[in-house]
Amino acid sequence: MKNTILIVDDEEHMLRLLQFALRGTDATLETCRSGEEALGFLAEHSVQLVLLDYSMPGMDGVETLRRIRQLADGASLKVLMLTARDQTAIRADAAGLNVEAFLTKPFSPSDLSARVRELLSPG
């Protein structure tokens, strides 16, 4: 079965950049532009990994992740949080929400691709 990655970011150019960077992965790429939209998508679809922007208007990445963890399959869903801010503060905000990885913007497409492949690898 092919993996599905959900990319959640409010900025169109970031969605396109992330899709471009992940074009070589053997995964279906889906996008949402808000936490609310992502929660609706996750309620209806099975995904293996969420790339979640920390800083979004309305519901930020941490609140979105809190709500993801409350979904039926949300507790075991792998999450890579993307941020342009200091990771120390964000890690404190996300403490206890089981974020598998953090990636600071700007990042290299090869670093992103490597992290995603690592997170999707079995075991």
pLDDT at site 77:
94
Q: What average pLDDT does this structure show over 110-117?
A: 93
DSSP three-state, residue 23: coil
Average pLDDT along the chain: 90
d(CA 65, CA 116): 18
Q: What average pLDDT does this structure show over 21-40?
A: 95
Which residue stretches of the chain are H helix? 12-21, 35-44, 61-69, 87-93, 109-120
Query: Given a cut of 70, is residue 113 above it in pLDDT?
Result: yes
Share of the chain above pLDDT 90, in %: 66
pLDDT at site 99:
87
Note the CATH number of domain 3-120.
3.40.50.2300
Query: Given a cut of 80, is residue 21 above it in pLDDT?
Result: yes
